Amino acid sequence: MTREIRLQELALSKAWTRELYAGFGEWLVKERPSHRHLLTVLARHFAFFQTLDVVCDRLEEVSGDLLLRRFGVAELRAHTLPVRYLSARRGIEIGDDEKAGCAELHRISVILEESRAKSWGMVIVRYDRWLESKKIAIRTRRGYLSAATRFCHAAAIKEDGLYTADQIRHFLRRYPGLRASLYRWNSFAAEALGCEVSMPATRQRRNRPKTVRDLAKLLSRINDSGPDLASVRILQRTIAKAFGYSVARFGLYKWSTEEQEGKVWLCREGERLLILGRLVPIVVSWARRVRAGSSQSSD
């Protein structure tokens, strides 16, 4: 062992991290016995073990989740060998789902950081916290934040976060594919900012994204017959698409409605959506008929 490596090992404050770093060196020798620059490789990854030495008191605290939170996906790629060592010798694994989640969290942090200098920056921070409180999936949350920042930028939103129906209408003419994401933003604005704005009706255009075209067709079918005569299946598909859910995923949850001070909310555990505009009679009719069906099946 060279003097430099020995000094690095001694620089670690805890016995278990010194043993871990020494063990990594031994593992490297066995993995790459013919490599001519193993000491250089070992020294290159010292910072990885130094971080563990600072943030963990015991080896048992080191986990795949901790590694992702402290290093992030990009930095872990630079420390592939220590990660392989921890997997081989300690059984510490980082799954693909965890990596994907960490990457999405990094993208969210970038969105928030880039927004801070804007007049509407703190509104986006509040929106992120609101989405997190609703237990929105990380990837979906990042999509909602991305759509909201585009809207805030395009509409030149101020510090209070308030906006008008005309601003939404103008934005959706340019970005019709973001309609479903803006429904969620609209719910946040009504609940947290006191900004109650109805989403504009969909326009009949051939070149709109498929999701928007499908939603327009469903709304047109319901409009022809009225919500109370449309099938429960059609109503549910419409509500799911309006809020960015797949029909299958929407059907997994137990939904209910609440009416307070003339406002209608669609609720499930961990989520509360404000219903506005054309969706109000659709949601009310759907919820009433689903309750009636459940009541009959239990009798």
pLDDT grade for 254, boundaries at 50, 70 and 90: confident
Contact 121, 115 (CB under 8 A): yes
Lowest mean pLDDT of 7-11, 88-92, 282-286, name the range: 7-11
Q: What span, in angstroms and rounded, lies between the C-alpha atoms of 87 and 94?
A: 9
> Region 44-68: what's the mean pLDDT?
89
Write down the pLDDT at residue 209.
58
Phi-psi region of 261 (alpha: psi -120 to 50; beta: other; left: phi over 0): left
Average pLDDT over residues 17-27: 89
Domain boundaries, the chain: 3-94, 106-193, 210-298
> 33 or 179: which carries more pLDDT confidence?
179
- Residue 199 contacts by C-beta under 8 Å, 6 or more apart in sequence? 168, 179, 182, 183, 186, 276, 277, 279
- Give CA–CA dist 292/214, Å, rounded: 28
What is the percentage of the chain residues whose pLDDT exceeds 70? 89
Quote the mean pLDDT of the chain. 84
Edge-first strand listing for the sheet containing 271-275? 256-260, 263-268, 271-275
Lowest mean pLDDT among 12-26, 73-87, 142-156, 177-191: 73-87
Query: Is residue 36 scored above 80 in pLDDT?
Result: no
Would you state the pLDDT for residue 299?
Answer: 44
Is residue 189 over pLDDT 70?
Answer: yes
Q: Between residues 148 and 140, which one has the greater pLDDT? A: 148
CA distance 79 to 91: 17
Mean pLDDT over residues 5-26, rounded?
Answer: 83
